[in-house]
Structure 1
Amino acid sequence: MKWKQIVVYLVILVALAGYYFIETAHKEKAKEKEIESKKILDIKKDQIDGLKIIHRGEKTIYLTKKNNKWIINEPVKTKVDNFALDNFLNGLVNISAQKKLNIDKKEFSKFGLDKPSVSIEFKVGDKWRTFKIGDKNPTGDTYYASLDDKSEIYMIASFQQSSLNKKLFDLRDKRLFTLNREKVDRIEVARNNTIIKVIKKKDDKWESPDAPNVPIKTEKIDSLLDSLTWLRARKFVQETDDKLEEYGLKEPSIQVVLAVQKDKSETLLIGKEKDK
């Protein structure tokens, strides 16, 4: 093959590649534009600094943000599950309409929007806005929704309804231990009147003050810490500690303490088995 033919083929190849990339970029932009056109809200999640989630017949879940940190204030004051809340906020700001219906507000009751199954109030600046989710469309996998006082009904996908239909348990921090796992330098386990204590030395090796000559495998401690720091609550029975005896926690069968230096520690009490 002559070198001139090679040059021609290379030019054609470059032209085709250029066309492909331009066409692909054009399609991607068109797709992004279509997605943006269907979005119901034109806000960023970082602009939201207050949330009220109201489920029909239940107490309002009220969250506030201060210094970029969210906290649940009502119906109980507790920490949030940051990952779960971030997913919720992403779902809210990216909510999109598969279809829009211009309906007289007097007819909203026919779509379950006079008494919505879930109502989300969110604060942007000094203004509170409201997004409501009503009944499921009987002929498709969509739900009816409305925004503020607009005379429009949006039809949103079932998975989007699911991403916003969150309860208190879904959004609260369910960790039993919240200390930074890497900074834990003391572990105590008390069981059957026996206390086992291990501390971390400067060389990251662990030892027992009661038996300093007994070698302790670091991987065993790492495995224990992983298990403890990944513990999650499956249910919150009550929000106060005034009935410890009822749950066998006044005299626990096992007590575990994790500590960071001398000024911070967390204690887990394990009582009796459920229904026993």
Structure 2
Amino acid sequence: MKNRLLINLLLITLVVCLGMIAWLKPGHEAPKKTNLAGLDINTIQHIKIERTAANTIELKRLQNQWYLTQPVNTLALAGKVERLLKISQIKPTTSYPLEKQPLSQFGLDTPTVKVSFNKKTLNIGKTESVQSRRYVSNDTQLFLLDDTFLHHLTAPVDAYIDTRLIPNNGQIIGLKTPEITLQRQEDNTWKNIQSPTDELSSDAVQMLLDEWRFARAITVTTKFDATPTEQIIISLYEQPNLTFHLIKQKDSVLLVSNDKKLAYQFSDTKYKKMTTLPRLETPNA
């Protein structure tokens, strides 16, 4: 009896093994799970986020840079775009055919957010009550996803804006602020127009200009109350000048771009570094 049971177990094991071999034989691959958008991440050139409780946001990739095109035109924050692109690459573990049934039970009749990657649109609904997973759908499928991404889609517009004051680390050839006016001369030396008799150290000037080239704002906002007063002009090599208007606050300053009407916030300490030539120690003789 024991021998017969052992033989039966061996036969069952053999059948299972042969089935696996037949399934995994060369030329026969298990079906791969596709991502939500059905797109390779490198082919995505356009993202549109339609929100019920906030402005619609659009982003476009131009020459490997991402730009906001709606509701403002400016360089987009690279880290934020990267997180948006990762949403398109989520591979659902649970999906169902989107059959003819009331979408209201999933919150998909009026989605919280619609996000499109190129022309592939995903509708973001409510969460289910058991595991708090979120309902998401495309044209044909209903998905249940871990609820870890919605905050990236509902963030305020400000969160998508690049915080760099000077995109792409442009080469500065002139700087005019209320505190100092630097101008590069034809022989590549520098002159402080406000105090032309001062002898300037090239190293000190470059250190000051680097404060501007690599400056990142604490926040960037499209909303500000005070009226700008004094002007700051940054001249760039083979690029248009950048003009900002200065708003002084209690412990910080706002630099409001003349063309984009964006307000870049910096601490008083940072602004002082950006407008004061550093003192370099002279080596002992």
TM-score (norm 1): 0.64
Equivalent residue letter for 1:46: N
Quick one: distance in 2 between partners of 1:59 and 1:186?
Answer: 37
The aligned length equals: 220
Quick one: distance in 2 between partners of 1:205 and 1:61?
Answer: 45
SS class of match (1:159): coil
- Pick aligned residue for 2:110 from 112, 115, 135: 115
Shift in Å, 1:129: 2.3
Quick one: distance in 2 between partners of 1:217 and 1:67?
Answer: 34
Consecutive unaligned residues in structure 2, runs of 5 or more: 1-28, 251-285
Where does 1:59-208 land on structure 2 (aligned, <5 Å)? 59-65=55-61, 70-76=66-72, 78-84=73-79, 86-102=81-97, 104-123=99-118, 128-147=119-138, 149-150=139-140, 152-178=141-167, 180-181=169-170, 183-191=171-179, 196-200=180-184, 206-208=190-192
Where does 1:242-257 land on structure 2 (aligned, <5 Å)? 247-249=226-228, 251-252=229-230, 255-257=231-233
Equivalent residue letter for 1:270: L
Shift in Å, 1:178: 3.2
Kindly provide the CA deviation profile for residues 90-116 of structure 1, in whole angstroms up to 9, marking residues without a partner as x.
Answer: 313312213224453423211211111
| Shift in alpha-carbon separation, 1:217–1:49, aligned structure 2, 3 A | closer
Contact 1:141 1:158 in 2 (8 A): yes
Contact 1:133 1:143 in 2 (8 A): yes
| Shift in alpha-carbon separation, 1:79–1:179, aligned structure 2, 3 A | same
Quick one: distance in 2 between partners of 1:220 and 1:231?
Answer: 19
Kindly provide the CA deviation profile for residues 31-75 of structure 1, in whole angstroms up to 9, marking residues without a partner as x.
Answer: xx99x6263333113323333211114332233445555443333
Q: What's 1:45 paired with?
A: 41
Equivalent residue letter for 1:216: S
Equivalent residue letter for 2:223: V
| Shift in alpha-carbon separation, 1:108–1:221, aligned structure 2, 3 A | same
SS class of match (1:218): helix
Kindly provide the CA deviation profile for residues 204-262 of structure 1, in whole angstroms up to 9, marking residues without a partner as x.
Answer: 76442543552436246525532564243432117xxxxxxx7231x33xx33221248
Q: Does 1:216 align with 2:227?
A: no
SS class of match (1:46): helix
- Pick aligned residue for 2:243 from 244, 267, 272: 267
SS class of match (1:211): coil
Equivalent residue letter for 1:186: G
Quick one: distance in 2 between partners of 1:215 and 1:223?
Answer: 12
Contact 2:45 2:61 in 1 (8 A): yes
Q: Does 1:258 align with 2:258?
A: no
Consecutive unaligned residues in structure 1, runs of 5 or more: 1-32, 239-245
Quick one: distance in 2 between partners of 1:75 and 1:100?
Answer: 34
Q: What's 2:273 paired with?
A: none
Shift in Å, 1:145: 0.7
Alignment RMSD (CA, Å):
3.5
Quick one: distance in 2 between partners of 1:39 and 1:63?
Answer: 21
Equivalent residue letter for 1:142: R
TM-score (norm 2): 0.62
Shift in Å, 1:83: 0.6
Contact 1:189 1:257 in 2 (8 A): yes
Q: Which has the higher helix share?
A: 1
Contact 2:113 2:123 in 1 (8 A): yes
Q: Percent identity, please.
A: 18
Contact 1:205 1:218 in 2 (8 A): no
| Shift in alpha-carbon separation, 1:226–1:142, aligned structure 2, 3 A | farther
